[in-house]
Every structure is written in structure tokens, then in C-alpha cells.
Amino acid sequence: MSKVVVFDHPLIQHKLSIMRDKKTGTKAFREILSEISMLMVYEVTRDLETEEIEVETPITTCKCRVLSGKKLGIIPILRAGLGMVDGVINLVPAARVGHIGLYRDPKTLEPVEYYCKLPEDSDKRELLVLDPMLATGGSASAAINFIKQRGCHHIRLVNLIAAPEGIARIQKEHPDVDIYVAALDDHLNEHGYIVPGLGDAGDRIFGTK
């Protein structure tokens, strides 16, 4: 069963409250999403492997630790996942970026794929799938399927807000994928929106409504 980590850090919770507020405009929404993404990736990568190296400082030499093991890849789910990329890249600038284009059919709520381009060596990387919203889990589950079909098996899912329904779906369909969220909300409404949520993340990031 995959692990679910909910970040209860006061800075993350404070910033998320501003994002939930319907009065928060596009510019602030986008900036705060980027900040939270950076704070989240700091925790998501806490268990990355390190190795000891020797470094010569201006004073002497000393043993230090640097990252080793698998390199990172980040895969935003278009569109809303794009809003998390800058924050993550700020902390892990060497990460390669893949893109998966999916939208949720408003009637069936089923994901429809329109784009997929992953880094060539994705199968050798630790992959972080980014999407602010995990609602029914259909989009994230489909994205993870595409990634697995390309031979990748080290995948973590990073969401801002998740509904219990989405968590249950990922745990059932992808028990090997750990899920990291800033908040676990109450339920989905009849339109498949997370309650209380923050509305349509893509529209709020890009100002399309």
C-alpha cells in the first residue's frame, strides 16, 4: 500500500489558505503555488540517497555529503501541473522535465490524453508527478499508467489538495506510488470538484475563467 504524507508545516498551511480564498487573484495564486511546491519538494526528497566526498575548503579538507543514486525527473500533468514546475526546479535545477497532457472530460470525468513527452532516460530516474489537484484520481492514475508503460517504476505523486476518493484510487491502482499532499480535503461534489478545495486550479493559475 502506498504511503500518504500530509504536510502540516505552518508555512504550507498558511499559504494554502490564501490560495483557497476565492478573492486571491491569478498573480498571487501562481506565485504562492510555486512557493508551496518548493517547500513540498524539500520534504518529498528527504529520503534521497547521499554519498560521502572529500571537499577542500579555504581552511582544510573535510568529508561532506552530496546527492547520489537516481537522478530526478519531474512530470507536470498539463495544464495545472505546470504551476508547480518553477518551484521544484528552483530546488532541483538538474531535474529533467517531462510533460503529460490530460484533461478531464466534464461529462464522464474520465481523463483524455493529448500529449506525452518524457525524458529519454526516465526509466533510470526518480520521477515526481506534479498536479495541484487529486480529485477522482483518474488523471493521475492515467498519467502514472503512461509513465509505467515507458518502463519507469520509481514514481512519487505530489499534489496540493487531494480528495479521499483520489487517494483511494491511486492506492488501489498504483500501490507502489507514494502520495505527498499539502491537504487532504473532505469529499467531491456532484461535478467532481474537491470540497472545500480551491476551485479549478488550471483556470486560477492561467486566468482562463
Q: Which residues make up the interface to ligand URA (CB under 6 A)?
A: 80, 133, 135, 192-194, 197, 200-202
Q: Does residue 171 sit in helix, strand or coil?
A: helix
Residue 108: active-site member: yes
Grid cell for residue 186: 473532505
Residue 125: active-site member: no
Residue nearer to ligand URA on the CB measure, 155 or 161: 161
Residue nearer to ligand PRP on the CB measure, 118 or 143: 143
Smallest gap from residue 171 Cβ to ligand PRP (A): 14
Taking alpha carbons only, the member of 116, 113, 110 closest to residue 102 is 113
Residue nearer to ligand URA on the CB measure, 98 or 111: 111
CA 32 to chain centre: 15
Residue 204: active-site member: no
Considering only the stretches 2-10, 46-54, 122-130, 131-139, report the one whose residues sit in contact with ligand PRP under the rule CB under 6 A. Answer: 131-139
- Among ligand URA, ligand PRP, none, residue 197 binds (CB under 5-8 Å by kind): ligand URA
CA distance 84 to 117: 18
Specify whether the CB–CB gap between 169 and 141 falls below 8 A: yes
Q: Does 96 bind ligand PRP (CB under 6 A)?
A: no
The pairing of beta strand 194-195 with beta strand 187-188: antiparallel
Q: Does residue 116 sit in helix, strand or coil?
A: strand
Task: Report the interhelical angle of 138-149 vs 164-173 (nearest 10°).
Answer: 20
Q: Does residue 85 sit in helix, strand or coil?
A: helix
Of residues 1 through 40, those in contact with ligand PRP by CB under 6 A are none
Specify whether the CB–CB gap between 181 and 134 falls below 8 A: yes
x/- site string to ligand PRP, residues 162 to 181, per CB under 6 A?
----x---------------
Biggest distance spanned by C-alpha atoms of the chain:
66
Q: Does 131 bind ligand PRP (CB under 6 A)?
A: yes
Which of 73, 138, 167, 185 touches ligand PRP (CB under 6 A)? Answer: 138
Residues with catalytic function: 104, 108, 200, 203
Residues that bind ligand PRP (CB under 6 A): 77-80, 103-104, 109, 111, 131-140, 166, 192, 200-202
